[in-house]
Structure formats: C-alpha cells, structure tokens
Amino acid sequence: MMGNVGSTLAWLAPNAVWIYVVIYLLTHPHVAEKWGAILNRLFSKISRRAEMRSVALDIQGRIDGFSKSINSEVSGIMPYGVKIEWVTGELTKESFFKDGKIILRMNYHSNQDENVVRAATEYISRGMLSDSRPYVDERIMKSADLISTKKLIEKERRPALQFYYGEILSPARKSDSELDKYVLIMQQLDEHGYFSQILLRELQRLGVTMQFSIPEESVKEETKRFVEFLDEKINKKKPGVDVGTTFVGEKIRTTIVYVARMETVTIEPSLGFIERCVNKGIDTIYVCARGAYNISLVKELEERLESHPKLTRVFQNEVRLPLLRGRRVDNICVRYDVAESDAET
Amino acid sequence: MRKHTIRAVHEQDIGELLKSLGLSDLMTKGELRCGICGSTVNLDNLLCIYPSKDEVKVCCKNPECYERVLRETE
C-alpha cells in the first residue's frame, strides 16, 4: 500500500507542473486559444492553415476572455463565446444563401489589430444583451455597443485602440451629436465603475422582463431616461447630496444608495432609505461606495441586511478603479433584488 | 458555452470567393457597389459580403455601412 502511494507520488512530483498546466488550460479555454494562436503563428509563413488558425484562435481567445470577465461582473450580459468559421473560395451561391450570414473579410495576422476590431464589433452587436436589444432605444444600444467594444479592445488588445478610435468610434461620434452625448455619458459611468454593474445589468434585466413582448416606444424611451438619470445622479453627483436616488419607470425600478462619509457618519440613514424603497415596489437596489472607510460602512450595512426578509444579495463587486482624478480608488457595488410584495406604488 | 459564429474569409481566399460568387468581373470593371452607400468597392475597401433577398451584396469599410449591414442581417 505504502509502496503504491510512494510510486504514485514519485510519478506525480515531476509531472505536477504539466498536470497543472493541462487542468488550467482545460478550465480556461480562452487562454488555450491564445497560446494556440501563438504556436500557429510560428508556422504561418509556411502553412496556410496555420496562418488562418493563428488569426482565428487569437480573436476567439481575446473575445472569449473578455466575455468571461464581463460575465463575472454581471452574469448573462454576453452569453455566447465566439467561433470564427472560415469560408474558402469554393463556396457556392446556394450555400451562401442557405447560411444567410455575412462573410467578414479578415487580413493576415500581421494586421490583427484590424481583424480584432472588426470581429469585436460584430460580436458585441450580436452577442451582447441579445434578448434586450429590441426593447432598448437605438442610440442607447449603439452607445453601449461602442463603449463595450472599446472596453474589450482596451482589455484584450490595447494597440488596436488607435485603429478603433480612428476607424469606428470617432466617425460614429462625429456623425451623430446625440449619439456622441450618450457615448460620453457611458464613458463617464464606466470611469465610475457603474457602466456594466448598473447600466448593462438593468438593460439585461429589461430583456428578461420583456421577453417575447412586442417592443414598445415607451419602453425604449424609458431606457433613454434611465441613462440620463444615471448621468444626473452619478456622473454629475456633488458630494454631500442625497443618501440615495431612485428611478421609477414602467419597467425599470431601481435605487442607488451611496454610502459616503460626506453624506453620513453612520449607516442608519442608508438603512432607513433602503427600507422605504423596499416598500415602494423597487426591483433592484444598488449599494455603492468608494474608498476604504466607506467600503467598511457598506460591509456593516451588508451584515445588517443579511436577514432582511425581502432582500436577496445577488452580487457584490469590489474593484480598483482606473485613475480617477489622478489616483486609484477602491470601489464597491452590492446589488440586492427585492422580493415582490404588496407595493404602494 | 454556446458560440456565436462569425463567418470570415481570409485575405488569401478573397479573390477565389469573389469569383465563386460571380463578383470578380464586376469588381474588375469597377461596377461593384456598396449595397448601402453605393460607393465603388474594390479590394482596398471591401469589408464584407452579405445576402440581401436573392442578391449577393458587398459592403465597403465605412463603419456606418457595416453597422447597417449588421442590423439588416440580424
């Protein structure tokens, strides 16, 4: 018995690294795809197939990596991975029409910046919030697509940003001043850390609520008002104003509670505000704070709300924001779903 | 995880594909037009090929044209 264990350990020890690598790649397929792209690139000069595999795997790895990270923030925003399917020169008209899909032109891997931007644009406009799209105002959706694609490129292929700005983002902003306004609002929301955590999450929820309903202009209009509300209450918020703020629409009913030293020295006002919201038919409550002290207050608040009969804590995200006014700041956002009750709305 | 498929043609196969779809001659004659903005499409500014009813259409690299193609082929 001891001999068996000993020989197993003797085998495992030198192979442990390899076993770890294999398990890691199996559980992180986007990393495997990126490595596959690098390996194929080595042979791309002598093999046509290796060149194509290198281009495809690199794109798949980057997009899948991004969708995994954004889904970990708010699950279900990008429910699909991506697969590049190559079409060769032998495609007939019949099979072209049968498939009914567009065929995107891809360059050699030496122009991968352009390839990634083109594929990301298509992926985001099809794969992100696919159930919600019919119910969201067109400009709001397009702005969300533009900012999400920018985030993808920023995270996964920074050198391609220049191409993205020059060829996609700037022309789109210049061509439509209202779109430009929403792009800037969403960019600012992202800098505050609330673009995906609050805006995309609420748009995703809208898709679930509305599923199979006929899209109505009033709902689209509501998405526009919601974005303007976030701009007013988050982007333009002055310190010391409001413990929390509420948006009550026909489909979106959300409260954002700020826990901040400027507004309160204890959590009692926040608790009182949350309690009033619970009784007003609000669907979701976001509790947000920035900086170590305020985050500790949120954690205290979380403890107090743990046993609340109508609140379910569904998500908590603690991130270090990129530079905000020249310094990095920790940020927390906790989301509570409110159980349906006899609301007084 | 389910996958969204992006169909793509590599630069090295584009000439053959245009031939198979009957677009090569039109391009040589300078008669191939963007299905959205109507500008002449050549190998420098061709971005994608898409089906529209019974026609094979092409789209130039203008981002607005591409966006409309994405919406029309949803």
Q: What is the pLDDT of residues B15-72, one digit of tens each?
A: 999 999 999 999 999 999 999 999 999 999 999 999 988 899 999 999 889 989 988 8
pLDDT above 60 (res A342): no
Parallel, antiparallel or unpaired: strands A253-258 and A284-290: parallel
pLDDT of residue A114: 93
- Percent pLDDT > 70 in chain A is 92
**A contacts of B67 (beta carbons < 8 Å):** 125, 142, 172
- Put simply, the answer to whether A80 touches B6 (Cβ < 8 Å) is no
CA distance A143 to chain B (A): 12
Q: Is the pLDDT of residue A1 over 60?
A: no
DSSP class of residue B18? H
pLDDT for residue A261 is more than 70: no
Distance in Å, alpha carbon of A174 to nearest chain B alpha carbon: 11
The residue whose two tokens read 């429910």 is A79
How many CA atoms within 13 Å lie on the side-chain side of B1?
23
| Residue extents of the structural domains in chain B | 11-72
pLDDT for the residue A343: 46
Query: What is the reported pLDDT for A321?
Result: 67
From the list B6, B20, B56, which residue is nearest A89 (CB)?
A: B20
**How much of chain A, in percent, has pLDDT values that exceed 90?**
42
What integer is the mean pLDDT of A283-298? 88
What is the pLDDT at residue A3? 66
The pair of structure tokens assigned to A168 is: 């996609």
> pLDDT value at position B54?
84
* pLDDT above 80 for A264: no
| ipTM score assigned to the predicted complex | 0.95
Q: Dig out the tokens for A246 from the structure.
A: 């509420």
pTM more than 0.90: no
Q: Is the pLDDT of residue A6 over 80?
A: no
Q: Choose between A126 and A31: higher pLDDT.
A: A126
Chain B residues whose beta carbon lies within 8 Å of the beta carbon of residue A97: 51, 54
**Cα–Cα distances in Å, from A342 out to A200, A308, A313?**
28, 16, 20
pLDDT in tens, A61-96: 999 999 888 888 788 888 888 999 999 877 888 888
Query: Which residue in B2, B8, B64 is closest to A87 by CB distance?
Result: B8
Q: pLDDT for A112-123, tens place per residue?
A: 899 999 999 999
**Chain A interface includes B43 (CB < 8 A):** no
CB-based contact A50:A81 (threshold 8 Å):
no
